[in-house]
Amino acid sequence: MSTTQFLFAGFGGQGILFSGKFTAYKGLIDGKHVSWLPSYGPEMRGGTANCSVIISDDPVGSPIVSHPDVLIAMNLPSLDRYEDAVVPGGIIFVDSSLIERKVKRTDVTVKYIPATQLASDNGLTTLANMIIMGSILKETGGYDEASIDAALAKVVSARHADLLQYNKKALSIGAEY
Amino acid sequence: MADKVLMKGNEAIAEAAITAGCRFYFGYPITPQTEIAAYMAKRMPKIGGTFLQAESEIAAINMVYGVASAGKRVMTSSSSPGISLKGEGISYMAGSDLPGLIVNVQRGGPGLGGIQPSQSDYFQATRGGGHGDYHLIVLAPASVQEMADLTIKGFELADKYRMMTMILADGTMGQMMEPVSLDFDIKPEPEKPWATTGTQMKRPHNIINSLSLVPEELEQQNFRRYEKYAEIEKNEVMYEEYMMDDAQIAIAAFGIAARVSKNAVNEARSKGIKAGMIRPITLWPFPKEPFMKAAEHVKQFISVELSMGQMIEDVQLAEQCRRPVTLCKRAGGMIPSPEMVLAAIEEAAENGGAL
């Protein structure tokens, strides 16, 4: 009987919705109930983007995440906006190459990952999101190759199958950081 | 759950419509339902169907009128301001007894309003929207699976009763993704001997028309239509009851409001408050009976809505004001939080001594 509520937040173009979709598909493949809800307002047109993902053993009630167990902040406005909303004991993943400040909360676990820098250093410029995802999977106990492969196959379209290897590389960089 | 795919609610509607045999879609883009049109644009040409982006919503609904007259399954979709534009055509279709599916993925209003989710077209959907005495069958999905299932049901009901069905969704239902099974059991389409498909010189002309200048005849048409509506009210009501057996406080909510309220009911139960929920799935015909029955043991009803309070009137009519009905609302594109609904339940529990 457990439910994990994720909130992914950052700029449009950072793969926020993609990360959420990967998480939801992985949950589905793992036999969980899942929901995925994007922001679709004016902010997604060139500003901040966020999406709510819920993975649960029970049917999902409200698909809206207002108090995440896991916050992924990929830019400063997102950390500013959602830091206080995280449940006590929750986890915040911070892209520390883009967010210079530290998390103020002392009742949550924080993982600082210089994801954008790591992506750039490894020739994976657009995959900072999946580097953080590698860390999320490791920290939340879901780094299982088989279900990762299955979920990637769902979210990376067949026509971009050549990108699978880069996604997997990004995940492993994040998991090992 | 391996056979399920993740889909947006809007995409689930489009896929289900195609599966139901709909080969004609006419629309005009508007947030938050544009994915329906996009999906149709991609799929229809591949299966010999017609996708047409009309020059306006008014043009689109009149194209729906045309295809419906010819007896084929047809649909259009829009969001609130676009549905208002279609109002004239919807009334004409009602006056001509034409079947078809209209999807309204609601956004905040009035006017152009905003693009965030809303339920403030409840009156428009359940009371008409266009002019004249008529009803639409109005279905309110509360999950992506229901977006698909009720689309299929919508086509079936439309054909069965020769009238329009509306899917009344909202921005959240349209945009969210959930696992959905696309394994549908499709019944064969009924014959439509009334359709204007050409006489081949073998039968009298079929006439599709909403103009009737003899008042005695027009009155009879209205009477016949309302006999049909009475039959629908008897046969087609759908609702879900959640923890209602011993409930002392009952939420009334549909769509996204019901999803949010479910969390609040669970939370209230964990605090020992006997809360439950009645979720209308058909908004017209409105499920009166479960409310009347609940009034036996419920101390208070709470209507949870993304509007200034519209369905609350149907709740009051349904339970004939035997118990108080309060309103828990957000408007303009805002959504009540589970905490807000829980607070309303707790207040009701304190006031009504329902513990």
Q: Does the pLDDT value for residue B269 go beyond 90?
A: yes
Determine contact, residues A50/A41, Cβ cutoff 8 Å: no
Contact between chains at A21 and B335 (C-beta distance less than 8 A): no
The tokens of B120 are what?
A: 């403030």
Write down the mean pLDDT value for chain A: 93
**Chain B from 93 to 132: CB within 8 A of any A CB:** 115-116
Write down the mean pLDDT value for chain B: 96
Q: Are residues B332 and B216 both part of a single domain?
A: no
Confidence at residue B1, expressed as pLDDT on a 0 to 100 scale: 42
Please state, for a pLDDT cut of 90, what percent of chain B lies above it: 97
Confidence at residue B265, expressed as pLDDT on a 0 to 100 scale: 98
Q: Are residues B206 and B266 both part of a single domain?
A: no
Contact between chains at B175 and A62 (C-beta distance less than 8 A): no
Q: Are residues B73 and B180 both part of a single domain?
A: yes
Confidence at residue B92, expressed as pLDDT on a 0 to 100 scale: 98
Q: Are residues B182 and B55 both part of a single domain?
A: yes
CB nearest to A37's CB, from B115, B176, B179:
B176
The tokens of B200 are what?
A: 């081949």
Confidence at residue B355, expressed as pLDDT on a 0 to 100 scale: 46
Contact between chains at A28 and B1 (C-beta distance less than 8 A): yes
Please state, for a pLDDT cut of 70, what percent of chain B lies above it: 99
Q: How far apart are CA A27 and CA B258, in angstroms?
A: 23
B6 contacts in chain A (CB < 8 Å): 21, 24-25, 28, 34, 36, 154
Checking B321-328 for CB contacts under 8 A at 24+ apart, the result is B322/B292, B322/B295, B323/B295, B323/B298, B323/B299, B324/B300, B325/B252, B325/B300, B325/B301, B326/B300, B326/B301, B326/B302, B327/B302, B327/B303, B328/B302, B328/B303, B328/B304
Among residues B209, B235, B261, the one where a domain terminates is B235
CA A90 distance to own-chain centroid: 14
- Tell me the CATH number at B106: 3.40.50.970
Residue A42: CA count within 13 A, CB half-sphere: 3
pTM of the model: 0.96
Q: What is the rounded radius of gyration, in angstroms, for the C-alpha atoms of chain A?
A: 15
CB nearest to A63's CB, from B2, B259, B266:
B259
Q: How far apart are CA A10 and CA A16, in angstroms?
A: 7
The predicted model gives B137-153 an average pLDDT of 98
Q: How far apart are CA A176 and CA A138, in angstroms?
A: 9
Domains of chain A in start order, with CATH, are: 3-176 (3.40.920.10)
> Looking at B117-246, which runs of residues are DSSP E strands?
137-139, 164-170, 177-180, 239-242
A43 shares contact with chain B (CB less than 8 Å) = no
Confidence at residue A157, expressed as pLDDT on a 0 to 100 scale: 86
| Owning domain of residue B275 | 240-352
| pLDDT tier, B354 (very low <50, low <70, confident <90, very high otherwise) | low
Confidence at residue B294, expressed as pLDDT on a 0 to 100 scale: 97
B266 contacts in chain A (CB < 8 Å): 61
The predicted model gives A132-160 an average pLDDT of 91
B262 contacts in chain A (CB < 8 Å): 61-62
Q: What angle do CA A134, A138, A139 make, to 5 degrees?
A: 115
Q: Are residues B247 and B326 both part of a single domain?
A: yes
Q: Which of B107, B178, B240 to mutate to test binding with chain A, by most A CBs within 10 Å of its CB?
A: B178
pLDDT tens for B208-258 read 999 999 999 999 999 999 999 999 999 999 999 999 999 999 999 999 999
One-letter amino acid identity for A72?
Answer: I
CB nearest to B6's CB, from A36, A41, A63:
A36
Q: Are residues B338 and B190 both part of a single domain?
A: no
The two counts, helices (H) then strands (E), for chain A are: 6, 6
A29 contacts in chain B (CB < 8 Å): 2
- Tell me the CATH number at B276: 3.40.50.920
B260 shares contact with chain A (CB less than 8 Å) = yes
Q: Are residues B244 and B173 both part of a single domain?
A: no
Taken as a whole, chain A contains a residue count of 177
- Number of domains comprising chain B: 2
Q: Are residues B272 and B223 both part of a single domain?
A: no
Q: Are residues B211 and B286 both part of a single domain?
A: no
CB nearest to B1's CB, from A31, A37, A61:
A31
Q: How far apart are CA B177 and CA A35, in angstroms?
A: 6
Q: Does the pLDDT value for residue A42 go beyond 80?
A: no
Confidence at residue B2, expressed as pLDDT on a 0 to 100 scale: 45
pLDDT tens for A44-68 read 555 778 999 999 999 999 999 999 9
Distance from CA of A77 to the nearest CA of B (A): 21
Q: How far apart are CA B257 and CA A62, in angstroms?
A: 8
Q: Are residues B226 and B283 both part of a single domain?
A: no
A55 shares contact with chain B (CB less than 8 Å) = no
Helix (H) or strand (E) holding A152: helix A145-155
Q: Which of A40, A53, A155 to mutate to test binding with chain B, by most B CBs within 10 Å of its CB?
A: A40
Q: Is A15 exposed, middle or buried (0-12, 13-18, 19+ CB in 10 A)?
A: buried
A17 shares contact with chain B (CB less than 8 Å) = no
Q: What is the dihedral of CA B343, B345, B351, B355, to 10 degrees?
A: -120
Q: Are residues B227 and B245 both part of a single domain?
A: no
Q: Are residues B231 and B244 both part of a single domain?
A: no
